Structures are given as C-alpha cells and as structure tokens.
Structure 1
Amino acid sequence: MSIKKVYLIRHGQTDYNLQSIVQGSGVDSHLNDTGQRQAALFFEHYKDVPFDKVYTSTLQRSIESVQGFIDLGITHERHAGLNEINWGTREGSRVTPEEDAYYHGILQTWCDGETGVCIEGGESPDLVFERQKPFIELMLSRPEEETILICMHGRAMRILLCQLLRYPLRCMDEFQHKNLCLYQLNYTGSMFSVEKYCDVTHLQQAGAR
C-alpha cells in the first residue's frame, strides 16, 4: 500500500511576529530577513525530497516560505481554506495588556470546548474547520500526489492537525508551532500518523529560530 507523505509547515518570521502585532487572514505580510533565512534553510534541507505538489494559503508569507520549491518548477496551488483564522478587530494592532487578557480568555473558551465562539469581528475554530474541509477532500482525492508540501499559518495549522489526526478542536493547543516548523505526516489510506512533531532541526544549524 502506498503512503501519502505530507510535509506541513508554518510560514517563516515576519515583522508582525517580531513586534507582537496580530496577523490573521486579513493581514498579508511578507517575510522579514530572518523569515527569508528560515525559508532558505528549510529549502536547503528538503530540496531533494521529490514533492509532487506545493500547497499554500493565498497569503504572501506562506508563498514566500516555499518559493524555492516553486522555483524548481513544482506545481503550486493556493487555497483560501488554508488561510489563517480571521482575528477580527485585533488584526494589524499591537497586543496591549487588555487585548492580551481578552485573547487568552478566548483561547480558554476554545480549550473548554466552546469552539463555535468567534473572536470579536472574526472567526471561530469551527468556521475555520469547515472551510478547510474542501481542501482536505481535494488533497485525499489525488493519490497520484504521493509527497506534498503544505505551508500555512499557526492557528489554522493547529485546526488542520486536529482534523487530520482526529483530535477534538478543544485540543488544538496541544500542537505547538514555531516559525518554519515542520510536521511530517504519513497517510495510509485510512488514517494519518505523525513522523515529525514541530521539528525545527533544519533551522538550528544557523540558529535562525
């Protein structure tokens, strides 16, 4: 039985990450110099993997993180279903103590199982879950794509991992993430398993974490 290999990464660092400014689906930021180095290190480490397809969100920071593979001529598709959660009224603003308290309150609400609650002006995990479903169905409908690379965003990636690994959404924070971290998954036709968990060893050779 053939195994579908999925390399799932979060985008590299942006200035918004560095400055603790909220990014979501409504903020189309670019990688900063550190993010570009992270992308280059990931490419150098995995450039010889025979990827059949590169999937990204529609946001530039995800595309720039895998540009090296796209430049090799690997077919690339953008999917809005992979975009980051919409953080609503807080997108593009620096996190103040008051906003930080509200944010952590929302996270606790979600961890308590109330994943249908939307952040003010934005999305809920349930809404992101639903918009990811068509992408998952598409990905699994293409057995000829045996090895794929997916680049997306932190919160959305946690939600996708819950879907693929059959975790309840309230457990999504169990999946850690860092800029340009890797989750390597294997799909046997009935279930996914994790081979690498939030792996950043490809970055450590130059300390670009």
Structure 2
Amino acid sequence: MKPRTIFLLRHGQTDFNVRGIVQGSGVDSSLNDTGRRQAAQFFAAYGHVPFNKVYTSALRRTQESVQQFLDLGLPHEAHSGLNEISWGVREGTRITVEEDAEYRQVLAGWVAGDTHARLTGGESPEEVAARQRPFIELLRTRDDEETVLVCMHGRAMRVMLCQLLNYPLSRMEGFEHSNLCLYKLEFTGTVFTVKNFLDVSHLQEPA
C-alpha cells in the first residue's frame, strides 16, 4: 500500500483567541482579519496539493480556514467528532492558569494522568478521544484518499495526535499548537508518523 498523507491543521485566529477567551465547542466564532490572512497564506502554499478530501469540524472557524480549498470544488465532510473540547460553563469567558484555580487543577491533573478530569459542565480528554475514534477509523479505512486535509482545534488536535501516534493522553501538552499551524503525517496502513511538527513556514512573510 502506498503511504497516505494527512495534513492536520488548526483553524486560523479569531477575536476570541486574541482576547484570551475560551471558545471550546460551544462558541461558534468566525475568523478575524488575521485569521483570514493566515488561511490565504496556507492556501497560497498548499493550494496546488491534490487533496482527495477536506475534513473539518462542525464549527465555522475550521470551515472558514479551508474555504478556498472548498471553493475549488474539493469534496468536504464536517464531523462534530472533530469539534473542540467543551470547557463547560467557562466557554465565552477569559480563563488563565494564573487566575483560575479549577482550570489550573484540571490541567495539572491531565499531565499527572487524570485524563477523566473536566471543568464544570465540560468534557474530559477521554470523552474527546472517544468521540474522535469513529473519525480515526474512517481515516484509517478510506485508503482511496491518498492525501487529505483535516482542519480542527487546538486541544482536540492534541488529543487526536496522541491517539494517532499511540501516546497516552497525559502527554498531549507536548503537541504545541498555534493558529493555522500544520502537523503533516504519513500513514502506512498501520502506523502514523509525523513528518512536519508545528509547521508555520507558510505564515512567514517574505523578506
């Protein structure tokens, strides 16, 4: 079997990102001007790639990040399993590790291996992983799709990478992310490997 290529992309910047407000799965925000520019830069770098399919979450900011690919007429599927983790009652508010004791405790718990922990009303990483598994199975079995583009969200992407690469979810902080960053993976039919890690070269302004 010929190796397949998966472009795993985080969505572009939103005003909520700039203001440090948690979006999660419950805030369906749009890209801001910077996010739209990032999306255009990514398309300028990779618009020539013959993607067989574009996958996004069910949230607007992922679809807007790849809209120029969709405008080419590429097949597209939106999957709610790719949505961002739910941060529960904190969605739409500004929370930081420094200011929020519960947030700090939950994040520390994840690193320590308590990946069933969640913020009030939110999801745990284990729950996010469970809803991602049907999509991962789909990704594994659609071997006629040699090159695919998957656009999703920061925390959900960390969970996804742990699952694809067989890391425990407690290691997810090792997969850093930024707006419109790319993880490029190769799939042999049995094993996923990362070829590009936190790639933002497409966002570099020309000298």
What TM-score does the superposition give when structure 2 sets the normalisation length? 0.97
Q: Which residue of 1 aligns with 2:203?
A: 203
The alignment of Structure 1 onto Structure 2 pairs a total of residues equal to 207
The alpha-carbon deviation at position 99 of structure 1 amounts to 5.0
Q: Say yes or no: does 1:145 pair with 2:121.
A: no
Q: Say yes or no: does 1:110 pair with 2:110.
A: yes
The alpha-carbon deviation at position 167 of structure 1 amounts to 0.3
Give the CA RMSD over aligned residues: 1.4
Q: Which residue of 1 aligns with 2:10?
A: 10
C-alpha contact 2:9 2:181 (8 A) present in aligned 1: yes
SS of the aligned residue for 2:73 comes to: coil
The alpha-carbon deviation at position 94 of structure 1 amounts to 2.0
> Residues 89 and 49 from structure 1, CA distance in 2 versus in 1: closer, same or farther, beyond 3 angstroms?
same
Q: Which residue of 1 aligns with 2:169?
A: 169
The alpha-carbon deviation at position 102 of structure 1 amounts to 2.4
What letter corresponds to residue 189 of structure 1 in structure 2? G
Q: Which residue of 1 aligns with 2:71?
A: 71
CA distance in 2, matches of 1:124, 1:21: 19
What letter corresponds to residue 15 of structure 2 in structure 1? D
What TM-score does the superposition give when structure 1 sets the normalisation length? 0.96
Q: Which residue of 2 aligns with 1:48?
A: 48
The alpha-carbon deviation at position 101 of structure 1 amounts to 3.3
The alpha-carbon deviation at position 95 of structure 1 amounts to 2.5
The alpha-carbon deviation at position 205 of structure 1 amounts to 1.8
SS of the aligned residue for 2:128 comes to: helix
Note the residue ranges of structure 1 that are not aligned, 5 or more in a row: none
The alpha-carbon deviation at position 98 of structure 1 amounts to 7.0
CA distance in 2, matches of 1:40, 1:175: 24
CA distance in 2, matches of 1:190, 1:110: 28
Question: Runs in 1 of length 4+ with deviation above 3 angstroms?
Answer: 96-101
CA distance in 1, matches of 2:182, 2:4: 16
Alignment of 1:185-196 (within 5 A): 185-196=185-196
C-alpha contact 2:97 2:103 (8 A) present in aligned 1: no
What letter corresponds to residue 77 of structure 1 in structure 2? E
Percent of residue pairs bearing the same amino acid type = 60
The alpha-carbon deviation at position 103 of structure 1 amounts to 1.6
CA distance in 2, matches of 1:97, 1:154: 16
Note the residue ranges of structure 2 that are not aligned, 5 or more in a row: none
The alpha-carbon deviation at position 104 of structure 1 amounts to 2.2
Describe the superposition over 1:5-49 as per-residue Cα deviations: whole angstroms up to 9, x where unpaired. Answer: 000000000000000111100000000000000000000000001
CA distance in 1, matches of 2:97, 2:170: 24
The alpha-carbon deviation at position 97 of structure 1 amounts to 7.2
Q: Say yes or no: does 1:37 pair with 2:37.
A: yes
